[in-house]
Structures are given as structure tokens and as C-alpha cells.
Amino acid sequence: MYSKGTKRKFSGSADTATDDKAMAASYSLQRQSLLDMSLIKLQLCHMLVEPNLCRSVLIANTVRQIQEEMTHDGSWQVVTEAFSSPSHGPSDRLVATEVLCRSPVLEQQGGGPKLYSVMGYNGCREEEVVTDKALCSVAVGDGAPALLLGTIGHCWDRAELRVAEVEAGVSEDSLSGSGDEEETRCREGTKLATGQVFGMFEIKNSPPGSDPALEELFSDVDASYYDLDTMLTGIQSTPKMGPYDLLDSLASSHGPTSNSTCRADLNELDHIMEIIVGS
């Protein structure tokens, strides 16, 4: 279905070029919707039962595969460049259900892309996936990519470092059955939730100018966001900031140039969040 399109034979007609373009556009739309679907699957975490690790790994591998292909195509690079410009600073929001306004890859390079924060391997439950076709079609129809960004990846890595310090004190026996396993696992859970999926999507060549800005942004971030309980039960229990709170705060913090576009997109995202959270 989503096979890497076979090369068409050059027939010499002028139509071939436009056909190729149409095929490529449709392929990239399909690929985009697959990426959106995969991110939603990873994100939906009604965390009553620990999610299926095998399923999460397979979905994350699929996302990584799409990301690699998009990097080769150059469509990934375009978006990260758009996002990393200094005028946009939504990366200070780090709570799980963060949603930002988005912009189409090819059309508008000024707006910030839409982000789905991902809970990582601790955050999935197989039965709860949204299968509503409307959800997927909204994503495709807008033609806008939903992307995880390197800057956010950095943020989660920081949390991971903090947790890793704690974990260093816990030793792991090769003989199981000791109580240490439980504790290690608890720390691992945090590690998973924070760094895992984001670490994969981290863009290696992060723009040089962003780091000092990030430092400044993180200086006042509430450390309790990295609390294990909050993260693991983020969506299930009442989060510190609800999704609608975020949308409101983001709408106000954006620059005037992208505001109108963002608001329209935010309304759609509102609708999507209703579907996800309301069910």
C-alpha cells in the first residue's frame, strides 16, 4: 500500500511529469496521515494497564522510518528550520498533552508546526486507539504535518538526565527476584516516558542559536512536571494544565503574524482534543 512507488517508465509525454507529481503528492499525503495516525497511537494513554511494549516499539519504528524518509526527501528539514527560528518559543510547554498550532509544510513557513507530545513506551493502551476516520481525514485535509521536534527532544532529555542521576544509585541484580528490580523499573519508567520516543526523533544537527534560548525558557519550568506520577497518569487524572488551558495560553503567547492562522487551527485542534479526551 505505502510501498515506495515504483519508477515509472519515461514515456516521453508531457503528462508523465504532472502524473509523477500528483503521485508523489498523494504518496506524501498518505505518508503524512500514516505518521499522524502513528503519533496518535503512541500518544493515547489511558493508563489503567501498562501498555503493550511490542506494539509501542513497532509503532515507534514505523514513525522513525517515516521520519528518515522525510529527512531524505527534505520535507522534514524544511519544517524544523521553520520551527527553530527565534520568533517562536512554544517549546517551553512540556506537559504531556501539549498541542501547538501548526502550519502546512509546503505552504507557510512562518508558523510553528503542530506537535503531539508523546508519552513514550509507558503511555499506550492498545484498545483505546481512535479509529475515527474523521480524525485522520482532518489531519490529511489540512495537509499539515504533525511533527516531533529536536528541541522538544532536548527538553525531555534533560528530564531524563535528572532521573538518570537518581537511577545511578540503584543497582541491578542479574538474579531477579530482588526488590531492587521494582525500583529500577520505576526509574526506568520515567526514563522511558521522558526520553525514549523523543530521543529517537532528535535531530542531530540542531540549530546553534536555540540552546541559550532554551536554557532561558527552562529556568522557570516547574520541575514537578517530571514527576513520575504526573507523567504516567498525565491524561488519566487531572493534569496540572488541561489541554484547553494550554491552547488558551499558547494562543496568547504567539506573535501577531501567525496568530490568525493559529486560531483557526486551534479550533480544529480543539475538536480533535475533544474526541481524544472526551471519549
User: By C-beta, is 122 or 261 nearer to another protein?
Assistant: 122
Q: For Cα atoms 268, 274, 279, give the angle at the middle one, nearest 5 degrees.
A: 145
Tell me how far, at minimum, the Cβ of 15 lies from another protein, in Å: 26
Residues 211-230 contacting another protein, CB under 8 A: 228-229
Interface with another protein includes 174 (CB under 8 A)?
A: yes
Classify burial at 167, counting beta carbons within 10 Å of its beta carbon; exposed 0-12, middle 13-18, buried 19 or more. Answer: middle
Which has the closest alpha carbon to 156: 123, 182, 128, 129? Answer: 123
Tell me how far, at minimum, the Cβ of 138 lies from another protein, in Å: 14
Stretch that binds another protein, among 72-80, 111-119, 176-184, 248-256 (CB under 8 A): 176-184
Residues 110-129 contacting another protein, CB under 8 A: 121, 126-127, 129
User: By C-beta, is 176 or 205 nearer to another protein?
Assistant: 176
Nine-digit cell at 232?
504516567
Residue 176: count of CB within 10 angstroms of its CB = 8
| Contact letters for another protein, residues 73-92 (x by CB under 8 A) | --------------------
How many residues are given for the chain? 279
Beta bridge pairs of residue 77? none
Tell me how far, at minimum, the Cβ of 95 lies from another protein, in Å: 18
| Contact letters for another protein, residues 8-47 (x by CB under 8 A) | -----------------------x--x--x---x-----x
Nine-digit cell at 277?
479526551
Residues 229-258 contacting another protein, CB under 8 A: 229, 232-233
Cβ–Cβ under 8 Å, residues 101 and 250: yes
Tell me how far, at minimum, the Cβ of 126 lies from another protein, in Å: 6
Residue 164: count of CB within 10 angstroms of its CB = 15
Of positions 17, 48, 251, 264, contacts another protein by CB under 8 A: 48
Cβ neighbors of 218 (< 8 A, separation 6 or more) are 92, 155, 158
Give the 3-state secondary structure of residue 257.
helix
Interface with another protein includes 200 (CB under 8 A)?
A: yes
Residue 186: count of CB within 10 angstroms of its CB = 16
User: By C-beta, is 94 or 197 nearer to another protein?
Assistant: 197
Give the 3-state secondary structure of residue 60.
helix
Residue 20: count of CB within 10 angstroms of its CB = 14
Of positions 185, 240, 263, 271, contacts another protein by CB under 8 A: 185
Stretch that binds another protein, among 55-63, 78-86, 243-251, 260-268 (CB under 8 A): 55-63
User: By C-beta, is 83 or 121 nearer to another protein?
Assistant: 121
Q: Is 47 left (phi over 0), alpha (psi -120 to 50) or beta?
A: beta
Nine-digit cell at 143?
495537509
Q: For Cα atoms 168, 220, 101, give the angle at the middle one, nearest 5 degrees.
A: 105
Q: Which residues bind another protein (CB under 8 A)?
A: 1-4, 31, 34, 37, 41, 47-50, 52-55, 57-58, 60-62, 65-66, 121, 126-127, 129, 131, 136, 174-177, 179, 181-186, 188-189, 191-192, 195-196, 199-200, 228-229, 232-233
